[in-house]
Amino acid sequence: MEEEYDIIALGTGLKECMLSGLMSSVGDKKVLHMDRNSYYGGECASLNLEQLYKKFRGDEEPPASFGRSRDYCVDLCPKFIMACGNLVRILLLAKVTAYLEFQSVTGSYVTNSKALHKVPATPKEALASGLMGMFQKRRYKSFIQWVNDFEVEKAKSHYSGFDMKKTTSKQCFEYWKLEEGTQTFTGHALALFLNDDYLNEPAINMVERVKLYAYSVSRYGNSPYIYPKWGLGGLPEGFSRRCAVYGGVYMLNVEDKSDFIEEILYDDDGYVRGVRSEGKTADCKQLIADPSYFIGTDKIERRGEVARCICILSAPVPNTNNSDSVQIILPSSATGRKNDIYVSMVSHVHNVAAKGKYIAVVSTTVETSSPEREIESALKLLGNIDEKFFWTSDFYVSVNDPAKDGCFITSSYDATTHFQTCTEEVLEYYERITGKKLDLEAVSADPEDLEN
C-alpha cells in the first residue's frame, strides 16, 4: 500500500468504480481503490433476501413462501440503462460487457391525472395513445417523425429557419402545438428531465434526448431500457475487474472496521496528497470518493432526502400488459408535487427474484415530514404487495473545488430509475480529471454490439 498512485478511489459504488475502471483502462492511470465495506456497491449494493431482511428487519427471518434467499438480488438504488445511450457505450469501451448479460425491459409507462399509459415513442404509438385527444395525437405524430429525422448539422432538419441551439424547448413545443400534458410526458418520460427548467433552455438537448429514446425503442422493442441479469451489482464489479486487469489495486475491508480509512491527507495548501489506513500511507495526485467519506466536512452539502420503498409482489404491476419489467414515471404535475415519482419493476426473468416473484421499487425526492405518504399514489399502482421495506437517505452533493483540493466527490444517488444523471456526472469528472473528453463517438451501442 505504501506507494504513490495517480488516483485513489474511496468507495465501490457504481460511479466510483466506473471512474476508477476508466482511469485505469482508458486513462492509463495507476489506481488504488479502497472501501470500508467488505462488499461492492456501496449505497447501490444488491442484496439477497436474508441480507435484505437483516438490513431492514434485524433478526426477522424472511417467509419460506418467498423462496430461496440466493434467488434474490435486490438493488437498493435500482436504475435502468438507456439501451443505445452513453452508459452502454462506456461499458463497451471499457469492455465491461464481457462480464455481463443484459435483458430488455418490457415496458415504459407514464401517468396522467387519470390512468397509466405506455410512453408513446413512435408515430404509430402516438396515434394509439390514450394520453392525447385526436388532434393532439396527429400533432404529436408529426413531432415524433420530425425528431426521428432531425440532424443537428443539417439546417433543413430544423423547422422554419429556427436554430435549435438557440430556440427554447418551450418555443419548439409551441411550434408543434403540443399541449401542456403532452409537453409534460415528453419532457419527463422521454427526455427524462428532472424538472421543467429545460423548457427555457435550448431545445437541442431535449430533441436529442427524445431522439435517443425513440431510437432505443426501435432497436430493442417495447421500451428503450435494458437491465443486467442478476441485478446492478455486476456493474461496479465489472468495472473493478477491468481496473484490476490494467494494474489497479483493490483493498476492501473484510473485517468491517469503521476506522479502515483513518484519514485523508492534505498538503499545506489544502491539496490532497494521500490516504492513511491501518497505520500506513498511500500517496496520490487526485482522489475520487463517494460523499460518505466526507460527512462532517465543508466539502459536501446535504440537499434533502430521497425516499425509497422496495416491494415484493406475486404478480406484475396491473395495467402493464403483464410485463415482467417496467419503468413508470409519475410526473409531478399528475400528483400535485414538485418532484416526479419513479417506479421500477424487475422479476425472476432477470434472475433477481424467485420464480413468480417481482421486485418493485418506488422512489422520489422527499418534500414533506411524512415521506411515506408521498409515495402512496405510486404504491396503489402496484396492486397487492406481499412485503415492503421503506427508508429515506440523505442526498449529498459536492461543494468543493477539485482544482484546488484534488478531491472529486460524487453525489448521492438520486430518486430517478434511470442512469441519465449518473452517466453525465461520470463523463464530467473524467474530463476534469484527465483534461480531455471521453471519446464515445466511435462506439456503437446497438443490440449486436452487446451480444458480441
pLDDT tens digits, 96-110: 888 889 999 999 999
195: nearest Cα among 7, 332, 16, 345: 332
Do 203 and 172 contact (CB within 8 A), yes or no? yes
Q: Does residue 224 have a pLDDT over 90?
A: yes
Q: Does residue 25 have a pLDDT over 90?
A: no
What share of the chain in percent tops pLDDT 90? 71
Residue ranges with strand state E in 83-185: 102-104, 107-111, 116-118
Angle value at C-alpha 305, between 87 and 318, nearest 5 degrees: 65
Q: Does residue 258 have a pLDDT over 70?
A: no
Please report the pLDDT score of residue 309 as a whole number.
98
Distances from the Cα of 264 to the Cα of 17, 32, 158, 267, angstroms: 19, 14, 51, 10
Q: Who wins on pLDDT, 358 or 98?
A: 358
Please report the pLDDT score of residue 247 as a whole number.
86
pLDDT band at 60 (very low <50, low <70, confident <90, very high): very high
Quickly list H helices, 186-314: 203-220, 234-245
Angle value at C-alpha 385, between 381 and 389, nearest 5 degrees: 105
Please report the pLDDT score of residue 153 as a whole number.
76
Sequence-separated (6 or more) residues with CB below 8 Å from residue 369: none
Provide the grid cell at 77: 438504488
- 204 phi, psi to nearest 5 deg: -60, -40
Do 173 and 183 contact (CB within 8 A), yes or no? yes
Do 306 and 413 contact (CB within 8 A), yes or no? yes
Q: Across the chain, what does the average pLDDT equal?
A: 91
**What SS3 string covers 323-387?**
CCCEEEEECHHHHCCCCCEEEEEEEHHHCCCCCCCEEEEEEEECCCCCHHHHCHHHHHHCCCCCE
Q: Is the dihedral of CA 121, 124, 127, 130 positive or negative?
A: negative
pLDDT band at 423 (very low <50, low <70, confident <90, very high): very high
Determine which of 175-184, 232-241, 403-412 has the lowest per-residue pLDDT on average: 232-241
Q: Does residue 39 have a pLDDT over 80?
A: no
Residues in the chain: 452
Angle value at C-alpha 150, between 147 and 156, nearest 5 degrees: 130
d(C-alpha 423, C-alpha 149), whole Å = 25
Q: Does residue 156 have a pLDDT over 90?
A: no
* Residue 230 region by backbone torsions, left for phi larger than 0, else alpha for psi between -120 and 50, else beta: left
Tell me the average pLDDT across 290-304: 95
Q: Does residue 182 have a pLDDT over 60?
A: yes
If one counts every other C-beta atom within 10 angstroms of the C-beta of residue 33, the result is 28
Q: How far is CA 336 from its chain centroid? A: 24
Q: Does residue 67 have a pLDDT over 70?
A: yes
Please report the pLDDT score of residue 375 as a whole number.
96
User: In a 10 Å sphere around its CB, with 0-12 CB exposed, 13-18 middle and 19+ buried, how is residue 153 labelled?
Assistant: exposed
- Compute the CA torsion angle 200, 130, 346, 121 (nearest 10 deg): -50
CATH code 1.20.1050.10 for 120-220: no
CATH code 3.50.50.60 for 4-45+233-301+396-438: yes
Q: Is the dihedral of CA 184, 187, 192, 194 positive or negative?
A: negative
d(C-alpha 129, C-alpha 323), whole Å = 18
Q: Who wins on pLDDT, 278 or 66?
A: 66
| Sequence spans of domains, the chain | 4-45+233-301+396-438, 49-106+303-395, 120-220
pLDDT band at 447 (very low <50, low <70, confident <90, very high): low
d(C-alpha 359, C-alpha 357), whole Å = 7
Q: Does residue 451 have a pLDDT over 70?
A: no
Do 183 and 143 contact (CB within 8 A), yes or no? no
What share of the chain in percent tops pLDDT 70? 95
CATH among 3.40.1190.20, 3.40.50.1980, 3.40.50.2000, 3.30.519.10 for 49-106+303-395: 3.30.519.10
